[in-house]
Structure 1
């Protein structure tokens, strides 16, 4: 028997002969499903994407999709959470570094690195498509906008406020209200790019980089970073 046949037999034995996927296979299937759903939602929008189309493109049966997600809104919410996790990961890592490292990066370096990541993500075509879907579905499905705000924006505000608070505790900056300052920082850095991508307006990378640097430097001057 070939190695491929042996592996197939081993999978069958692990499934108990009933066709039930192993845990690894189920996880790989879910990843594939979300990858395909993300691509279709970004390409076709919310209304132009169906569970049927996602199932067919992913090579997964409709009952399997519905066993995992109640409806299209539930599937899109999972896609949205995945995109938020990707956007939020560097913010969380920077906050953890400020809290745990004995010699963390300067607040200037930290905020410039964070803003560079955030702006690049915000200006990506799929980020603009995601924003437009959320805006279009805000009336019918307000819980999606709420999810984006609570799990995305507000979590980012809390993490950036933690970075500012840690820096202030070390005497590197002076900030009276870290959460308010964090919200201002995010609006300064991301506001321009979000408006452009929301309306599908082409952006010039050099112009956006100048805007990003100026926004961060303006913010740093307000908290008197050393």
Structure 2
């Protein structure tokens, strides 16, 4: 019976060979995961799902294929994680100091403009386009991400509105009552964010939207506050 190559190695070399293909120490695992996802995002955006290969992703990530497969079952699972992480996790990561202003209109306008300029990032939009393009291959991914993104952004809107109206006369309006605040936040985001997001998905050059964002936000915030003050909820 043949002796394996590994058994022929000196003990020290055999040990190094085993370590090489194992999981990294716990303190380094997060860094490795982030490096793999970052590399996968770059390759998927450049090649598309069909054109991307785990070999190229491993090369860009400076990682072995075994390390990738230890974390992700296959290329489909890796693609799913990239889309989910970049679209959903980044919503939860969004944080901006609550804006100051003389009026609630100024504070809301500032907050909404910051959110849109942050959200309409070229790579993030490109990944959303890719996820939509792959809907037939991943029938549940786009809808799941869409629903989850809507829920997470609504939570963000609730927090934003509750903080901004805390010391304003708006807090006494029905639209900002605790039982209505979720619906109010969703209406605010649908009015302010969704139209620009749809525009971004179809614009070849996102820079063309930059000059329009502030004007769109100003009009939308004025309309939103007028509706709230006149009893809409």
TM-score in terms of structure 1 length: 0.73
Match of residue 94 from structure 2: 90
- Larger mean CA deviation between 126-135 and 44-53 belongs to 44-53
Does residue 226 of structure 2 align to residue 221 of structure 1? Answer: yes
2:143 corresponds in structure 1 to 146
Partner of 1:101: none
Q: How far is 1:195 from its partner?
A: 2.0
Aligned counterparts of 2:114 and 2:91: Cα–Cα separation in 1: 8
Give every structure 1 segment of 4 or more consecutive aligned residues whose post-TM-superposition deviation is greater than 6 Å. Answer: none
The residue number in structure 2 matching 1:212 is: 217
| Distance in 1 separating the partners of 2:16 and 2:104 | 56
Is the counterpart of residue 116 in structure 1 residue 121 in structure 2? no
The alignment status of 1:51 with 2:51, answered yes or no, reads no
Bigger Cα displacement from structure 2, 105-114 vs 57-66: 105-114
What is the CA–CA distance in structure 2 between the aligned matches of 1:161 and 1:79, rounded to whole Å? 27
Q: Secondary structure at the match of 1:33?
A: helix
Please give the per-residue CA displacement for 1:174-210, whole angstroms capped at 9, x wherever unaligned: 2063222222211222223222221233324212221
Largest Rg, 1 or 2? 2
Shift of 1:65: 0.6
Unaligned runs of 5+ in 1: 1-11, 98-104
Q: CA deviation at 1:112?
A: 3.0
Q: Which of the residues 57, 76, 81 maps onto 1:78?
A: 81
Deviates more, 1:130-139 or 1:165-174: 165-174
User: Post-superposition shift, 1:129?
Assistant: 0.9
The gaps in structure 2 that reach 5 residues or longer are 1-11
Number of residues of Structure 1 aligned to a counterpart in Structure 2: 205
- Residues 90/25 of structure 1: CA separation in 2 closer, same or farther (3 Å cut): closer
1:127 to 2:131 alignment: no
TM-fit CA distance, 1:162 = 4.5
Name the counterpart of 1:33. Answer: 36
TM-score, structure 2 length as denominator?
0.72
Residues 26-63 of structure 1: CA distance to partner in whole angstroms, max 9, x if unpaired? 22211111111122222333233222221121121112
Question: What is the CA RMSD across the aligned residues, in angstroms?
Answer: 3.4
- Partners in 2 of 1:149 and 1:169 — Cα distance? 33
Task: Return the alpha-carbon distance in structure 2 between the equivalents of residues 73 and 54 of structure 1.
Answer: 13
